[in-house]
Structures are given as C-alpha cells and as structure tokens.
Amino acid sequence: MVLEAGVMVWSQVTDLPFSLYSTFVIEARHGFNKQTIWLFFRDMFKGICLAILLGPPIVAAIIIIVQKGGPYLAIYLWAFMFALSIVMMTVYPILIAPLFNKFTPLPEGELREKIEKLAASLKFPLKKLFVVDGSTRSSHSNAYMYGFFKNKRIVLYDTLIQQCKNEEVVAVIAHELGHWKLNHTVFSFIAVQILTFMQFGGYTLVRNSSDLYLSFGFKTQPVLIGLIIFQHTVIPIQHLVSFGLNLVSRAFEFQADAFGKKLGYGKALRAGLVKLQEENLSAMNTDPWYSAYHYSHPPLVERLAALEDLESKKED
Ligand SMILES: [Zn+2]
C-alpha cells in the first residue's frame, strides 16, 4: 500500500510540470486552453482524492485474490476485473464524471428533434441526451455514447454544437450510432475481455518463477511487484496487440462513415468531419507509416475519399 501511494505521489509530482506545460503553454498557444490554473488544480485535487478512495480497496482485493487464487487464478482475476468494469461503467457517468464536468439535457428544439428522430428510426434506445460543458476547459470538440442494453445516453460537447451546423451534428451522431448498430461496441468490449483474460493467464504461468523476481533484484516475491514486472515484460506484445486493434478500429471507422452515408448524411458528414478537423487543428497530412501504427482513426483525407467513392458509385 505504501509502495502504491509512493509511486502515485512520485508520478504526480514528476508529471506536473509536463501537464502544466501541455495545458497552459502548448494548448494555449493554439487557442485551445480555456481553463484557469485554479480549475486545473481543482481537477487534480479531485483526481487524487478519487485515487485515494478507490485505489487501495481495488489493489487489496487483487492481492487477496492472487494469494488465495490457486490454479484457476486467471479466471478469478478476470471475473473481478469484469465486475469492476461493469460497476465503473455504471458509476462513472453518474457519480464521477459530474465531479469534473456539468451535464445538462440538450434543450428542446430542432437539434434535439432531429437526433431523437434518427435514434427512433434505428431503434436506438436513447434514454438521455446531454450536453457537456467541455468549453470550460478546452475548445476540442467531440460526441460519444454510453450505457447498457436499453439504457443508452448520448453526450455532445457544447463545443461541437457551437462549431457545427445542426445537420452536421446529426451526421456525426449517425456515424456514432453506426458503431452501435454494426456491433462495433460489443466487439471492442469482448476483445478487451479476451485480452484481459490472456494477460492474467500469462501472469498465472510465471507468477511463481523466482527467476522473474531475481532478475529484477527481488529476493522475495511480493504480489504487487510480480504484477508490475509482468506488466512491463509484456509491453512489446501489447504494442503488437494495439497495432492490431488500431487496424480493426480504422476499418470500423470506414464502416460507420458508410453507415451514416447510407442514411443520407454523406454530405453533412463530410462537412462535419472537415470542420472538426479544422477546429481541432488535427494533422492534415500524416505520414502513412506513422498513422498506420498510431492512429485508431483513419486520416481525414482517406475518410473523405471513401465517402466520395460511395457517393459516385451510387450515381453510376
Ligand atoms: Zn467513429
């Protein structure tokens, strides 16, 4: 526990100059930063409090599971993480996200009507439609959805609504709903579960190897150290996996774009994507090797070309 707290305090202290520089120098230089230094430290303080509140019980639970796990340890650890992620997915939007941002229902009007109509036409169980005050911190814009089964919510950044026309916002949501309709969200969730299980499986195989601990200078075998060492040893594999996942994710982006296009939002989606790219000052001309490895989303030019391609095919 002391070790964990020490690592956390140390990383907070060493990261601080970098995150201050990133927010108040780099982001500010490009006109994105909208937050005050007071807000920055308030967020940091809340984050630390949450970590103090949530961290120790979770780590303690993992250590107990490892100590009592036996041969089926991987299954128990996976089951614990699965339950934890379900709890966090439920609790996060209700209790944690509101600590940092203000969520207000999207007011009645044209935009709300259009989004509700779109959701109804796809049988998307839209329960709540929020606007989040992203603009108090930065002018980066976005939209996302979350929730289980019949209880879905869509969150729009207020910056997105300010930057785009209604039709373009709806087109961006049509793209997001494409991810849902085409089961991309389910796929990602299952992929993460399988990867988590494999990782714990690997850990179970080596956790009693004294060589592993010795090679890092540990004569005893503390549970937490074993987990941390294992985490670090599999980093090369994790890079391969994330490369694979990025490949899949980029294919999904094209599919979701095509889905939006099929619903008749091709033109608005293209306009919306261009605007978001401009407003967020994203790189326009990325190196193909760099983007193939690092990007979960295809470069804008490729997405626009694919959308135009679909459109011209329809005219033939
Ligand atoms: Zn997408």
Strand order in the sheet with 143-146: 103-105, 126-132, 152-157, 143-146
Do 160 and 29 share a structural domain? no
Catalytic residue annotation = 176, 257
Do 135 and 32 share a structural domain? no
Q: How close is the Cα of 274 to the center of ligand 1, in Å?
A: 14
Do 268 and 297 share a structural domain? yes
Q: What per-residue confidence (pLDDT) applies to 281?
A: 62
Do 37 and 85 share a structural domain? yes
Residue 135's Cβ-count burial label (10 Å; 0-12, 13-18, 19+) is middle
Q: Of 69, 100, 131, which residue sits at a domain end?
A: 100
Which pTM does this prediction carry? 0.74
- Pairwise pLDDT comparison (265 vs 93), residue with the higher score: 265
Q: What per-residue confidence (pLDDT) applies to 175?
A: 92
Q: What per-residue confidence (pLDDT) applies to 141?
A: 58
Each residue's pLDDT tens digit, 162-176:
888 898 999 999 999
Q: How close is the Cα of 271 to the center of ligand 1, in Å?
A: 15
Annotated binding site: 175, 179, 253
Do 267 and 298 share a structural domain? yes
Q: Is 230 among the domain residues?
A: no
Each residue's pLDDT tens digit, 108-150:
888 999 999 999 999 999 888 999 887 666 555 577 887 777 7
Q: Is 221 among the domain residues?
A: no
Residue 27: which of 286, 294, 280, 313 has the closest Cα? 280
Q: What per-residue confidence (pLDDT) applies to 185?
A: 85
Q: How close is the Cα of 10 to the center of ligand 1, in Å?
A: 36
Total domains in the fold of the chain? 2
Q: Is 193 among the domain residues?
A: no
Range of the domain at 67: 1-100
DSSP state string for 222-252: -HHHHHHHHHHHTHHHHHHHHHHHHHHHHHH
Q: Which residues surround ligand 1, an ion (CB under 5 A)?
A: 253, 256
Q: What per-residue confidence (pLDDT) applies to 182?
A: 93
Do 286 and 173 share a structural domain? yes
Round to whole Å and give the CA distance between 314 and 316.
6
Do 148 and 289 share a structural domain? yes
Each residue's pLDDT tens digit, 246-295:
889 889 999 999 999 999 898 899 888 888 877 766 655 667 676 677 77
Q: What per-residue confidence (pLDDT) applies to 5?
A: 65
Round to whole Å and give the CA distance between 74 and 79.
8
Q: What per-residue confidence (pLDDT) applies to 121?
A: 92
pLDDT mean across residues, the chain: 82
Each residue's pLDDT tens digit, 197-250:
988 888 887 777 777 777 778 777 777 777 787 888 788 888 888 888 888 988
Do 109 and 92 share a structural domain? no
